[in-house]
Amino acid sequence: MGLLAFLKNKFAIQKEQVDKYQVGLTKSRKNFSSKLRKLSGRYKRVNQDYFDELEQILIESDVGISFALKVIEEVLRTSKKERIFNPQSINEILIDKLFADYAEKGDIKTEIVFEKEGPTVLLVVGVNGVGKTTTIAKIAHRYLKQNKKVLLVAADTFRAGAVEQLATWAKRLNVEVVSGQPHTDPASVAYDGLKKAKADNIDLVIVDTAGRLQTKNNLMLELGKIKRVMAKEISYAPHETFLIIDATTGQNGVVQAKAFKEVTDLTGIVITKMDGTSKGGIILAIRDELGIPVRFIGLGEKIDDLAEFDLDKYLYGLCVEE
Ligand SMILES: Nc1nc2c(ncn2[C@@H]2O[C@H](COP(=O)(O)OP(=O)(O)OP(=O)(O)O)[C@@H](O)[C@H]2O)c(=O)[nH]1
Ligand SMILES: [Mg+2]
């Protein structure tokens, strides 16, 4: 059974499981799946032109050029070897290959794993305006629902209004927030936050940081300092470092991820604004080029518009037209 058939079967009974993905990925699905369908409608039998067009569709979905070339190459080989020339079947093979490549790299845990004792610390980084603060609120909401005690730390002392923004979310979520004076050292705010977390028996501390362009060296180095200071208060902190990437920035997201990966250990990526892009293939590009797991995806602006990344649901949302 091909992957698409498998996914349709899998979610036939529990349709509501994929609703969020299905809605959030509407634009991407239109861009990818409808194009595939239209393409296969125009050909009786695949030829080189067909594969060229297929490759173009992949590239337009932002899976990354090298990944697109590699996958098309694999599909072409399978087509020749198994003598499959029917366009629909070729499209299904393509989807199988997209999936296989991701699965091969090993699908790792997405949920945060909590320390047995003491607070678990999550540091959130990324360039300006990608959705760091909003994602922090969403993650806090998620774990509050699981009865975790959450503390927010506003280590963005740079942008005017940043502390208030996090404080507003904290109020809405009914959690405490630790912040410092404007333009104080973010590392010292992080330190205070961790200290309080220990004293208050917090399960999850989420540290917000200022948006920083990956090209600004001093700001990138500042991340190192924040981490070192954290580890003084809680050994092994931060346990998790999430890089937030805005899906609408397309391939630049991959450039950002590479730069952040160079200066800091990332344990996961959150891709936001998936609902606002038609280029949902970015997830595959990131996986292909960086090997860092996508842990969560943002599918809207509301507090529960965050989903644990699930490859089956993602592919269903991207590929299954209803
Ligand atoms: N549609 C959509 N909008 C989102 C999503 N995540 C965040 N946003 C919006 O993106 C905008 C920026 O979000 P912030 O959370 O302030 O981004 P930030 O990275 O903290 O920004 P800086 O602190 O200025 O670097 C806000 O308008 C959010 O509502 C998402 O998944 N979908
Ligand atoms: Mg922010």
User: What is the per-residue pLDDT across 18-45, written as a single tens digit (0 to 9) for each?
Assistant: 888 999 999 999 889 999 999 999 999 9
pLDDT at 187: 96
Question: CA separation (Å) from 103 to 97, 170, 266, 274?
Answer: 10, 37, 20, 21
pLDDT at 74: 94
Neighbours of ion ligand 2 (CB under 5 A): 132-133
Q: Summarize the confidence of residues 160-168 as an average pLDDT.
A: 93
Q: Is 272 in the pocket of ligand 1 (CB under 6 A)?
A: yes
Q: What confidence tens digit (pLDDT) does each residue in 65-85 have?
A: 998 999 999 999 999 999 999
The atom number, within ligand 1, closest to the CA of 137 reads: 15
For residue 322, is pLDDT > 80? Answer: no
Burial of 290 per CB tally in 10 Å (0-12, 13-18, 19+)? middle
For residue 160, is pLDDT > 70? Answer: yes
Confidence of residue 166 (pLDDT cuts 50, 70, 90): very high
Confidence of residue 12 (pLDDT cuts 50, 70, 90): confident
Q: Is 92 in the pocket of ligand 1 (CB under 6 A)?
A: no
pTM assigned to the model: 0.92
Question: CA separation (Å) from 88 to 55, 76, 211, 238?
Answer: 15, 14, 44, 47
For residue 107, is pLDDT > 60? Answer: no
For residue 106, is pLDDT > 70? Answer: no
Q: Is 301 in the pocket of ligand 1 (CB under 6 A)?
A: yes
β-strand partners of 307: 297
8 Å CB contact between 76 and 51: yes
For residue 141, is pLDDT > 90? Answer: yes
Mean pLDDT of the chain: 91
Question: CA separation (Å) from 134 to 126, 256, 278, 296?
Answer: 12, 19, 21, 13
**Looking at the CA of 166, which ligand is closest?**
2
Q: What confidence tens digit (pLDDT) does each residue in 223-273 have?
A: 999 999 999 999 999 999 999 999 999 889 999 999 999 888 999 999 999
Q: Summarize the confidence of residues 186-196 as an average pLDDT.
A: 97
Instruction: Please give the residue that has the higher pLDDT: either 194 or 250.
Output: 194
Confidence of residue 108 (pLDDT cuts 50, 70, 90): low
**Lookup: tokens for 56:** 């173009």
Mutate to test the pocket of ligand 1, among 26, 130, 134 (most ligand atoms within 8 A of CB): 134
Dist. CA 193 → ligand 1 center (Å): 23
pLDDT at 320: 87
Q: Give the amino acid at 140.
A: A
Confidence of residue 1 (pLDDT cuts 50, 70, 90): low
Give the range among 77-81, 117-121, 200-204, 314-318 with minimum mean pLDDT.
Answer: 314-318
The atom number, within ligand 1, closest to the CA of 211 reads: 25
pLDDT at 105: 64
Nearest alpha carbon to residue 123 among 253, 215, 248, 212: 212
Nearest CA to ligand 1 atom 14: 131
Confidence of residue 3 (pLDDT cuts 50, 70, 90): confident
